Amino acid sequence: DSGVTQTPKHLITATGQRVTLRCSPRSGDLSVYWYQQSLDQGLQFLIQYYNGEERAKGNILERFSAQQFPDLHSELNLSSLELGDSALYFCASSVGPDNSGNTIYFGEGSWLTVV
C-alpha cells in the first residue's frame, strides 16, 4: 500500500459526460501528480500541484482540469468525454515541490471507461 488513495476505482460513463476523479496523497506529501495510462500513449504526465498551486503541466487536454485543495487532496475533472479518454488515471504524490529526486508514489489508479 503506497498510501496514495484514489476514488473511484472503476467508472463507466457515456461520451459527452463529465467525471471527477479524487486523490488523497500520502501523509506529509505536498505534491500531487496526475498521469494517464492508455494502450496507445503509454504513461503520460498530465499535471502537478504543489501545496495548492499548479507546478508543472504536461500533456493535459483543455477538456481536463485539476486542482489541489487546502487539505491537499486533489481532483481531476474530465469533461466532454470521448471514447479515446478511456484509460487508467493515476494519482501520485511526493514530499517536495520539484524534480529534486523525491520518490514519487502512485495510487492504485482509477479505471475510466467511456462508452
- Residue 12 has a CB neighbour count (10 Å cut-off) of 11
Q: Which of 43, 54, 80, 115 binds other proteins (CB under 8 A)?
A: 43
Q: Which of residues 44-83 bind other proteins (CB under 8 A)?
A: 44-45, 48, 55-58
C-alpha cell at 33: 501528480
**Which DSSP letter does residue 72 get?**
S
109 binds other proteins (CB under 8 A): yes
C-alpha to C-alpha distance for 34 and 78, rounded to whole angstroms: 12
Positions that interact with other proteins (CB under 8 A)? 2, 33, 35, 42-45, 48, 55-58, 88, 90, 92, 98-101, 103-109, 111
